[in-house]
Amino acid sequence: MIALATALLAQPVIAGSLPPPLTISGTARVIDGDTISIRKQRIRLAAIDACEVDQTGFRWEVEWLCGKAARSFMRSIADGKHVECRVIDMDQYRRLVAQCFESGRDVGLAIVAAGLAETLFRYLPKQHRMELKAYIAAEQRAKTAGLGIWSAEIEKPSEYRRSRRKAPAFGRS
């Protein structure tokens, strides 16, 4: 991981040009709806945000396990399969941030299209090389069709994570 991170951060950038993209590929293990692992390296899928594994909401007036639904979908398209990821960045948790493909299929775009993740562009570096129009269109189609999170009452995943960090620990004064 350190060698990959060093390579990512040490690439020279000449004004007006982009460095060649770093890639990591191998058999994927799904962690949750927006994170996979390849060769023990955690990779956060770029441009999307899915429910946390323990996150729930309400769908058709019944509790819905949105995080487990997102993880299950990701498992169906990527777990145990050869995945190739184009590294875009490294996040604050030292995970690589990448656009990942299984047999040419963009797995981040697929989960957005299924309505099990929303787009999240604000953390992308300016020179990210991703075609975001497809993500915007997929999210709009999922919303219109009422798929997944768009048919449920859930807290945005980013807000859910924020509220969990602020929660006081039990037994402490």
| DSSP state letters, 49-112 | EE--TT--EEETTEEE-HHHHHHHHHHHHHTTSEEEEEEEEE-TTS-EEEEEEETTEEHHHHHH
Mean pLDDT of the chain: 88
What span, in angstroms and rounded, lies between the C-alpha atoms of 169 and 157? Answer: 21
Q: Say yes or no to pLDDT of 127 above 50.
A: yes
Domains by residue range for the chain, with CATH: 2-8+22-160 (2.40.50.90)
Q: Say yes or no to pLDDT of 28 above 60.
A: yes
Mind listing the pLDDT tens digit for each residue in 134-149? 999 999 999 999 999 9
pLDDT value at residue 6: 45
pLDDT band at 37 (very low <50, low <70, confident <90, very high): very high
Mean pLDDT (whole number) for 28-55: 97
Q: Say yes or no to pLDDT of 19 above 90.
A: no
